[in-house]
Amino acid sequence: MSASDEVGRPDVVVVGAGVIGLTTAVVLAEAGLRVRVDAERPPGATTSAAAGATWGPFMIGPEDRVAAWAATSMPIFEELAAGPDETGVAVIEGTHQSLTPTQAPRWAVAAGARPCTEAELRPGYVVGWRRRSPVLDMPRYLAWLERRFTHAGGAVRAHAYRSLDEAAREASVVVNCSGIGAASLVPDPGVTPVRGQVVVVRHGGALREFFGDETPDAPELTYAFPHGDTAVLGGTVQRGDGSLEPSPAVSEAILRRCTAVLPELRGAEVLGTRVGLRPAREQVRLETAERPAGTDGTYGPARTGGTGGAVLIHNYGHGGAGVTVSWGCAAEVLDLVKQAGAPGC
């Protein structure tokens, strides 16, 4: 992480360096604001780095806002996929399949998904849909996002806040993108960790398409996202489990499920295991915060009233779809910053 004191007091402090925090920081910095990202963990150690990842709403609400954010993000990922390989973004084909009859979700149909032919179904699967989608090599993508951010004049600082009031003393605007950390930092008891574990393998080009098991009420996730000659295999949905310690037994189960469906992965070299905690919440919280009732807190909905407090904008609770909505949410944060009349806009 690079120091930020050299650039002076920022206009905006973004709390959190996952895909939501970094994307928000990029959009704000490229709009001309002086932005600093303060985070306890560097981008490569966040939950985002453990993601598969692809474009598609998962474990996130509300549906109408998510659809709008996702629609904003899609063409940006398509543009990045057409650019330099260093972004880690590619657009490839793949299928979602189910062992029992089910319908494709509305978001998939809207994104151009078509029913699978019988020949496209894996053994045992009775229905599915095929689509083209961005897939992201998350460690590479996060590193690229950080470079884009610093190129726009931003800086990333290693710092763990004890409270958002503390962050409010650092800048005119604070954007809370703390992910699972929001449970204690806000605090917000509605944020729950949903543990995800994945296995990274080298398959030597055997896997050309992504695959996702969409069987309703399946006890575990089964998916594979290729990134060149490597792939991320998953996964788990362990609600309330806050452990970041990899489980060898879980890894073995993931490999067993994935190779049963995708025999071309048998014999693939295991490169490592990643674990992340999805910040699950009933709905994403993206809004300008009101001053806490009955307190003299240092933040409020705007600075125009001469209070001297910072603007606090929340942007957290994205469940398993932070990548999918990242650019749309960042654009909405920029609109909120402008509405607040913050310095630099």
Overall average pLDDT of the 279-302 stretch: 69
Q: Which helix (H) or strand (E) holds 257?
A: helix 248-261
CB-CB contact of 315 with 20 (8 Å): yes
Q: Are 254 and 198 in contact (CB under 8 A)?
A: yes
- For range 266-277, the mean pLDDT: 97
Is 203 exposed, middle or buried, given 0-12, 13-18 or 19+ CB atoms closer than 10 A?
Answer: buried
Residue 190's pLDDT is 97
What is the mean pLDDT of the segment spanning 236-265? 97
Q: What average pLDDT score do residues 212-239 get?
A: 95
Higher pLDDT, 302 or 148: 148
φ, ψ of residue 9 to 5 degrees: the values are -70, 125
> Given the structure tokens 């080009």, which residue do they identify?
205
pLDDT recorded at residue 301: 44
How far, rounded to the nearest angstrom, does the alpha carbon of residue 284 sit from its chain's CA centroid?
Answer: 12
Token pair belonging to 66 = 């998510």
Look at residues 159, 209, 211 and name the one whose alpha carbon lies nearest to residue 185. Answer: 159
Mean pLDDT of the 273-278 span:
98
Segment 163-178 shows an average pLDDT of 96
% of the chain residues with pLDDT over 90: 88
Pick from 57, 84, 53: nearest CA to 69: 57
The mean per-residue pLDDT over the stretch 104-122 comes to 96
- Residues 11-31, mean pLDDT to the nearest whole number: 98
Question: β-strand 230-234 against 127-136: which pairing, if any?
Answer: unpaired
| Closest C-alpha to 109, from 56, 58, 54, 60 | 56
pLDDT at 8: 75
Count CA atoms closer than 13 A to 88's CA, side-chain side: 21
- Across residues 43-59, what is the average pLDDT? 95
Q: What is the mean pLDDT of residues 182-209?
A: 97
- The pLDDT of residue 2: 38
Mean pLDDT of the chain: 92
3-state class (DSSP) for residue 263: helix
Which domains are assigned to the chain?
1-88+137-189+281-345 (3.40.50.720), 93-133+192-280 (3.30.9.10)
d(CA 131, CA 113): 4
Give the model's pLDDT for residue 298. Answer: 42
pLDDT given at position 309: 72
**% of residues, the chain, pLDDT over 70:** 91
Give tens-digit pLDDT for 124-134.
Answer: 999 999 999 99
Which of 175, 186, 155, 157 has the alpha carbon at shortest distance from 12? 175
* Confidence check: pLDDT of 32 > 70: yes
User: Does the pLDDT value for residue 185 go beyond 50?
Assistant: yes
Q: Has residue 253 got a pLDDT over 80?
A: yes
The amino acid that residue 165 corresponds to is D
pLDDT tier, 84 (very low <50, low <70, confident <90, very high otherwise): confident
Residue 344 has pLDDT above 80, yes or no: no
Burial class (CB in 10 A: 0-12, 13-18, 19+), 61: middle
- Tally the residues of the chain: 345
Contact 33, 12 (CB under 8 A): yes
pLDDT, residue 153, reads 97
Instruction: Return the pLDDT at 85.
Output: 87
- Residue 11's pLDDT is 96
What pLDDT band is residue 241 in, cutting at 50, 70 and 90?
A: very high
Mean pLDDT of 166-185: 96
Are 176 and 164 spatial neighbours (Cβ–Cβ below 8 Å)? Answer: yes
For residue 203, the model assigns a pLDDT of 97
